[in-house]
Amino acid sequence: MTEEVGRGTVLAGRYRVVDALPSDLDGVSVWHANDQILDRPVRVRILQSGAVAPALDAARRAALVTDARLVRVLDVGMHEGVGYVVSEQITGASLAQLVERGPLTPDQARAVVGEAAAALEVARRRGVHHLALRPSVVHVSADGRVLVSGLAIDAALLGTALTDPRATSRTDTVDLVRLLYTGLTGRWPTDRDHDRDTSVQPAPVLDGRPVPPAEIAAGVPNDLDTLCVVTLGPHEDGPHTPGELVHELEPWGEIRVGRAAEEPDEPAGAGGAVAAGAAAAAAAAAADRPAAPVRVARQSVRSAFDELPAGAPRPGTPPPAVPRRQGVLPATAAPAAAAPSAGPATYPPAVPASLPPVAPTPEPEPWDSGPAFTDDPFTFVEDEPETGRRFDPTALVLVIVGVVVLVGLVFAARALFAPPVDDREPGAGQETAAQEDPATPEPAPAAPEEPAAPDQAAGPVPVVASIRTFDPTDPAGERVENVELAVDGDPSTFWFSYTYNRPDFGGLKEGMGLELALAGQSTVSGVTLHVNGTGGNVEVRATTAEAPTEGELLASGTLSQDTVLTFAEPVQASTIVLYFTELPTNAAGQFRLEVTEITVS
């Protein structure tokens, strides 16, 4: 609370301050408030000290970004020398509150951070970044919706300097991975000064880096553990934008909050942390609010003209116009004779009876034929049938169709029973006569053709039965999700590896690869790869993922959009290994392998 702003203060003649809320930023107070014009609850941040002007400018830029997962900025201004930012009210528990009960399940952590990453990708494409992500700014509402607050504003208040777009995007992406680490472990991997103010316990550190999540919590999937280790490691590996992180995390399911809210007696373990935390935060927020909210004595719009003398004209809003349709009269303009059997149409009055009637819309001229409205404005009745008879073309059309069918049958019968036509070339009869003449010598019989030598390498056509990834440094393989997209026959889908800062996998390993399991022993003469990118190197061997560098090197080459690797001689094999010793560069300039399709011939 400050001397200028406190409970009951009306900011800019509109927002009445009601109750104080906790704040984790110095020089900033947060309040429940009521918008007296729109009569709705809002959230007001009072900027008492610090970088007030940059924060207000950042709030104006954040207001231009529209996404359901970002807390909307409704108003920005100054009140007696104090800056304020009005936003929509935030409901639900923050990530810091959710992990107080224990880590989230991996599926829920993936979903919460995935939704936050998708929201920040929308902001990034508008040139706005958060740069101050922490567990207290990510909330989960009671209906399972993720809300991210403090976009651009918190960074300005903390004095975070904006650098080039690539660095700012990388900062938000690393912070999102840190939030994923928090959801998986209940610990916050701190590395900046303002992180020390968070209520979440810090993550243990080994050699200057956070301990892998799988070593802290049980059941962490290998892909999420690797994502955290690679992104929070010493090198700038992993995703560089929130959009790339979305691709790393998808697909994810729903955030389960409804069931826990309906069953509060169920113990909140790891799987119910999101639900129980959201329900508990909602209950606590409801309990902290006053029973009778502070209201402003103001004149209602509805009663603004009640004090006028009787008979004085009062403004009103004309009723909405009835939509017109071609050939249909509005209900107010339909003559009474159009529907003699129905009573007069009655509609609820759109304005009070005391208001002067609105000038009626000029009636269009009625048509001789066409439907008219009944009592139900959406029900139509047909006018009485015309007395005159009209020509019905149905019979004529049927006769024409019958004639065409009969003619077709006649031509078909003639073609079926016609005698065969002698279509031999001229002179064919002379050949027959020559054969019957004994004086004509018979031509020597042609020597039978020798059968072609059988192909020694012939065999079944190779068919890819399955595919899997392998990594010499990880028994589970590299990014095993959706690897089947590389052989699904659809070039519009593709599988991609992790993103590295160098084509040699950042010096972490010598290579990685794909193992193609064929449908039985087959003859293979080549492999074709369709890749999004150019450069790098690939080797093809008839071996297995357990020994990718053993066996004869069948082919190798540099990757391109259409990479054709033909063997010197066909080989008999049941598994083919594609071992990538260097990564290509994709269209975005990243060192990552993106395989759209693989075919074996």
pLDDT mean over 143-163:
90
Say which CATH number the domain at 556 has.
Answer: 2.60.120.260
Count of domains observed in the chain: 3
Give the pair of three-digit tokens for residue 153: 């504003």
The verdict on 55 and 117 lying in the same domain is: no
Say which CATH number the domain at 148 has.
Answer: 1.10.510.10
Digit-coded pLDDT (tens) for 370-408: 444 344 433 333 444 444 456 677 888 888 988 888 888
pTM of the model: 0.48
The verdict on 246 and 151 lying in the same domain is: yes
| Domain-located, residue 335 | no
| Domain-located, residue 359 | no
pLDDT mean over 224-242:
94
The verdict on 75 and 173 lying in the same domain is: no
What is the span of the domain harbouring residue 170?
93-274
pLDDT over threshold 50, residue 452: no
Choose the final residue of a domain: 27, 59, 88.
88
Give the pair of three-digit tokens for residue 597: 């399709």
Local confidence band at 343 (pLDDT 50, 70, 90 cut-offs) = very low
The verdict on 168 and 57 lying in the same domain is: no
Digit-coded pLDDT (tens) for 382-392: 444 444 456 67
Is the bond leading into 356 cis (omega within 30 degrees of zero)? no
pLDDT of residue 434: 39
More confident residue, 312 or 11: 11
The verdict on 478 and 537 lying in the same domain is: yes
Digit-coded pLDDT (tens) for 162-181: 778 899 999 999 999 999 99
The verdict on 33 and 132 lying in the same domain is: no
CA 523 – CA 570 distance, rounded (Å): 6
Dihedral of the CA atoms 471, 474, 477, 478 (nearest 10)? -80
Averaged confidence pLDDT in the chain: 76
The verdict on 79 and 101 lying in the same domain is: no
The answer for 186, left when phi > 0, alpha when psi is -120 to 50, beta otherwise, is left
The verdict on 580 and 509 lying in the same domain is: yes
Q: Which of 118, 119, 112, 140 is nearest to 257 (CA)?
A: 140
In 149-276, which ranges are E strands?
205-206, 209-210
The verdict on 522 and 485 lying in the same domain is: yes
Q: What is the CA radius of gyration of the chain?
A: 39
Neighbours of 199 (CB within 10 A): 15
The strand pairing partners of 526, in sequence order, are: 566
| N residues, the chain | 601
State what percent of residues in the chain have pLDDT above 70. 68
pLDDT of residue 101: 86
More confident residue, 259 or 171: 171
pLDDT of residue 456: 43
Give the pair of three-digit tokens for residue 83: 């800056």
In 68-183, which ranges are E strands?
73-79, 82-88, 93-94, 138-140, 146-148
Q: Which of 73, 192, 193 is nearest to 128 (CA)?
A: 73
pLDDT over threshold 70, residue 518: yes
More confident residue, 210 or 423: 210
CA 102 – CA 109 distance, rounded (Å): 12
The verdict on 104 and 213 lying in the same domain is: yes
411-449 in b/e form (b: 16+ CB < 10 A) is: eeeeeeeeeeeeeeeeeeeeeeeeeeeeeeeeeeeeeee
pLDDT mean over 175-188:
96
pLDDT over threshold 90, residue 498: no
Cα four-point dihedral sign 239, 243, 245, 247: negative
Choose the final residue of a domain: 50, 70, 88.
88
Most confident of 300-304, 316-320, 546-550: 546-550
Q: Which of 57-61, 415-419, 537-541 has the lowest mean pLDDT?
A: 415-419
Choose the final residue of a domain: 216, 246, 274.
274
Distance of CA 576 to the CA centre of its chain: 35
More confident residue, 419 or 81: 81
The verdict on 251 and 102 lying in the same domain is: yes
Indicate the pairing of strand 464-470 with strand 495-496.
unpaired
pLDDT of residue 340: 39
